[in-house]
């Protein structure tokens, strides 16, 4: 028999796991026979099985929970679920809803192929017919529940995005200013190069290279730091992979495009310099 020091307590009826599409890994789901007065049964999450049974088959073994009294036989193992997006998985134990060991409040899960909000009123009417005194509140779709869990994370992500856009604008303005200053300082050199036969396209490439070189070095360092940073925020991500090559490629392309646009105007002006006028400035 295993005693669990801490686990997430859940009650479920026979259709709960099918409604939420929680896969059964081994054993069975609850049935109508799992009720008060019958042998006590429990279903556990896969993480709980791996953490407390060390690779052994937990089916048929017994555990004692800190939330309910008595020994319960493990009849099934289901896949892990996340209690809240942005938080690590918690070992979970599911008890039959008909065994009498329940909380005062219940969550009813309804699965439908159409818009779930369209059937919310009919479902509430059925509940009112069964028990007029039963109050129904907090009618939400699964997507709305996920959005609520991501509320603070979404706000933080929006702030980070805003600061990132501001940083990108400031960096592009700074790069434009630095390259414009360098082009002004090298007016004489550009005039000499063009007087000696340098083509305007060569001058353009030279000045573009001067501006894009530090941007490229910064991009390489930034991508290396980002790979390490995503490990820290991995638990906050939902629906995307932490190391998505497409996202990294898109970000790199955007940064290079912004840097190239910031460098293009000063480089273009430098390539349009009149060699004789440039030499007279010396």
Question: Does residue 5 surpass a pLDDT of 60?
Answer: no
- Residue 116: pLDDT band (50, 70, 90) is confident
Q: What is the pLDDT of residue 1?
A: 57
Rounded CA separation 278/187 (Å): 6
Give strand pairing partners of 95. Answer: 11
| pTM for the full predicted model | 0.55
Closest-CA residue to 74 (of 90, 56, 88, 62): 62
Cα separation, 112 vs 256, whole angstroms: 47
Return the pLDDT at 87: 67
User: Which backbone phi and psi does 74 adopt, to 5 degrees?
Assistant: -80, 120
> Distance between CA 140 and CA 97 in Å, rounded?
21
Q: What is the pLDDT of residue 151?
A: 67
Tens digits of residue pLDDT in 119-170: 888 888 888 888 788 777 778 877 777 777 666 666 777 787 888 888 888 8
Q: What is the mean pLDDT of the chain?
A: 78
Q: For residue 68, what is the DSSP state?
A: S
What's the pLDDT tens digit per position in 178-224?
Answer: 777 777 776 667 677 777 777 778 777 877 887 778 778 888 888 88
Name the least confident of 53-62, 145-154, 247-256: 145-154
Give the SS3 label for residue 95: strand
Say what the pLDDT of residue 29 is.
92
pLDDT of residue 63: 83
Residue extents of the structural domains in the chain:
2-109, 150-280
Helical axes 200-232 vs 187-195, angle rounded to 10°: 130
Whole-number pLDDT of residue 77: 92
Write phi, then psi, for 155 (nearest 5 degrees): -65, -40
Judge whether 190 and 268 are in contact, CB under 8 Å: no
């Amino acid at each position: 028999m295993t005693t669990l020091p801490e686990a997430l307590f859940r009650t479920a009826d026979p259709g709960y796991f099918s409604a939420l599409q929680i896969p059964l890994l081994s054993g069975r789901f609850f049935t109508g026979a799992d009720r008060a007065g019958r042998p006590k049964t429990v279903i556990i999450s896969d993480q709980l099985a791996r953490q407390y049974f060390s690779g052994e088959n937990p089916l048929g073994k017994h555990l004692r929970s800190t939330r309910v009294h008595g020994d319960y036989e493990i009849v099934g193992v289901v896949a892990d679920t996340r209690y809240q997006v942005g938080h690590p998985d918690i070992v979970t134990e599911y008890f039959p809803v008909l065994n009498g060991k329940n909380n005062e409040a219940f969550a009813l899960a309804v699965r439908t192929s159409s818009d779930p909000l369209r059937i919310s009123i009919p479902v509430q009417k059925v509940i009112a017919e069964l028990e007029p005194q039963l109050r129904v509140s907090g009618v939400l779709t699964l997507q709305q529940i996920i959005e609520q869990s991501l509320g603070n994370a979404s706000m933080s992500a929006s702030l980070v995005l805003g600061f990132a856009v501001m940083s990108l604008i400031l960096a592009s303005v700074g790069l434009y200013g630095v390259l414009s200053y360098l082009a002004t300082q090298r007016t004489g050199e550009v005039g000499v190069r063009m007087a000696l036969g340098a083509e305007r396209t060569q001058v353009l490439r030279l000045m573009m290279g001067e501006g894009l070189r530090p941007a490229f070095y910064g991009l390489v360092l930034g991508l290396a730091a980002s790979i390490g940073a995503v490990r820290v925020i991995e638990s906050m991500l939902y629906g995307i992979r932490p190391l998505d090559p497409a996202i990294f490629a898109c970000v790199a392309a955007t940064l290079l495009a912004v840097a190239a646009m910031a460098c293009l105007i000063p480089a273009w002006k430098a390539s349009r310099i009149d060699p004789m006028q440039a030499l007279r400035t010396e």
